[in-house]
Chain A
Amino acid sequence: MNFEVSEILETIKMNSLENLDVRTVTLGLSLFDCISDSIDTTAKNIREKILTHGSRIVDISDRVAGRYGVKIVNKRISLTPLSLVFGKERTLEEYINAAKIIDDTGMGIGVDFIGGYSALVHKGITKSESAFIDSIPYVLSTTGRLCSSVNVATTKSGINMDAVLRMGGIVKKTAELTADRQAIGCAKLVVFANIPEDNPFMAGSLNGPGEGDCTLNVGVSGPGVVFRAVKELPDNADFEIISETIKKTAFKITRMGELVGREVSKELGVSFGILDLSLAPTPAIGDSVADILEAMGLEVCGTHGTTAALALLNDAVKKGGAFASSFVGGLSGAFIPVSEDATMERRAAEGHLTFDKLEAMTSVCSVGLDMIAIPGDTTEETIAAILADEISIGVINSKTTAVRLLPVPGAVPGDVITLGGLLGKARIIPVHKKSAEIFVRRGGRIPAPIQSLKN
């Protein structure tokens, strides 16, 4: 036999007991060849393109998953930012109708999400982008699978504070329009700095303008596997041992994801893009990033030392993954979506994990303030100030940061909302009460930082 029994049993244990899975295979489609003067024709062209390339994605993914005995949890599609594809300014009704055609197509072929109701406005907002952004709350409240993202800053261009303020209002409006469903619309809306063009994870997935015609990107996950590996180490194992253990585990997870991803792309007849190695937690017990941090020796996630532990984890994950695959991309790192991580949600509910600590943590891990439920009376200016803080961390550190907040209408700190599925549940956590209105309403752009002057 080519393999040791222990190697085989370890793989089985990872797959069946420790929630190791391919979180998503995401088919990225370029839509520039779908553009037409009529938005209705454009939407129908998009439908045809999705059906041509993506109609078999669910069947093929399930078949490949069966062959290797691993789960592929989600099958998704990402699109060229639709603000670019829809072209000139349209009416709200036109945007909604087009969005529904795309959303229905996704439902028809059985994909879980479609990403790309997006705009890139990090330097400025055109008239048509302005109308498009205004449509986001209405589109998210009337569609099921379509996800939206807006890039408001890059390290190269600085922060478009007009866009940041605008998005404060859009987040708030989206929450209001989906108030009857606990602000679920906000779970499909992310505000970004340095948005990646090939990220397979939702809600921020899109197929960037620099991408090819049709590419498969894969997101793997496995906090549970890393947790078991760290948990088995003795208390006196030093940091080198912890780092090595995480690296080795990340290597195995990445290789598994790449194998499955390449196989699915081969059968679909599309090129393999990147592998996004992200520790994406789920509400399932034992599939938590916070558990890993606590296994390293923190009494609770959120206490002093949490940022350092997360930095170590994030770095080791990247190093292991980078060795395992030549095309690591997307977000690649550890996610800290509060509602989606059972232990993180519990620590936030207990008051150990505060808003400010979460913000500090985002400076050393991938993405940002994610799936945090905040009081319904939070003003759009305060939301804009939260966005500005988080976005500036990304811009200054030349990394991606993003914000996905749920200002649940009528909810106050301590209330619990249940979103279901991978989105989990969340207790409303307090935000600072003092105003930043004058600051966020100054208008204009925060200049690009000195780090951008690299040429």
Chain B
Amino acid sequence: MDIRNRIEKTVKQVIDDELGSSLHPDKLTSITASISEKLAQTVKADELVLLGIVNDKKENKELAVVSVIGQDSVGIVAEVTRVLAENNANIEGMNQAIVTGYFALILTIDISGMNVSIDRLQELMNEVAGKKNLRIYIQHENIFRSMNRI
């Protein structure tokens, strides 16, 4: 049962206990719906996470950053993402730019469901890097967190 249904059911129960048959059933339904609606506007999603009412699905994710740097050529993104897909690494974010004439692609990937180790993925990426004359680095996100966040 989802959070909204549970809240509505609880509110309905309280009002019913307090006021009983003096309240018209239609009125009871509209009051509980209204309270539920107002609550949804007041409490934010992450506050529900904090309260432990809903689970944060992100908890299960383990992120790594794939940085692809080098000279631009046709098919870089296709090659890199093919390797990621083959090894079940889900792409969570993608940012591509040309920095001082160089091609730079930064991918955030979820490595929790990968079917190879991060070392093996690096080896596979090194093959792509060699073929397309690039440098590809795979680093666990913790290193960026530790160096850039207090």
Contacts and interface: CB of A to CB of B under 8 A. Distances in A.
Contacts of A285: none
B116 interface: no
A5 B106 contact: yes
Contacts of B92: 1
Contacts of B69: 9, 12
Given A8-B65, A12-B69, A1 B146 contact: no
Contact of A256 (B95, B97, B143): B143
A3 B65 contact: yes
A11 B140 CA distance: 12
B21 to A, nearest CB: 55
Contacts of B139: 11-12, 67-69
A9 B67 contact: yes
Contacts of B138: 69
B93 interface: yes
B142 A3 contact: no
A70 B137 CA distance: 10
Given A2-B108, A5-B95, A11 B119 contact: no
Contacts of B122: 66
B65 A5 contact: no
Interface residues of A, number: 22
Interface of A is mostly: helix
Contacts of B144: 2-3, 7-8, 11
B76 interface: no
The dominant DSSP class at the B interface is strand
Contacts of A12: 67, 69, 137, 139
B74 interface: no
Interface residues of B, number: 28
Q: By CB atoms of chain B within 10 A, which of A1, A9, A66 has the most? A: A1
A11 B141 contact: no
Given A8-B67, A63-B119, A69-B138, A3 B148 contact: yes
B14 interface: no
B3 interface: no
Interface string A1-41: 11101011101100110000000000000000000000000
Ordered nearest first, which 5 A-B pairs have the shortest CB separation?
A: A69-B139, A1-B93, A255-B146, A259-B146, A68-B143
Interface of A: 1-3, 5, 7-9, 11-12, 15-16, 63, 66-70, 252, 255-256, 258-259
29 contacts: A1-B93, A1-B95, A2-B141, A2-B145, A3-B65, A3-B145, A3-B148, A7-B144, A7-B147, A8-B144, A9-B69, A11-B143, A11-B144, A11-B147, A11-B148, A12-B67, A12-B139, A66-B119, A68-B140, A69-B137, A69-B139, A252-B147, A255-B146, A256-B143, A256-B147, A258-B146, A259-B142, A259-B143, A259-B146
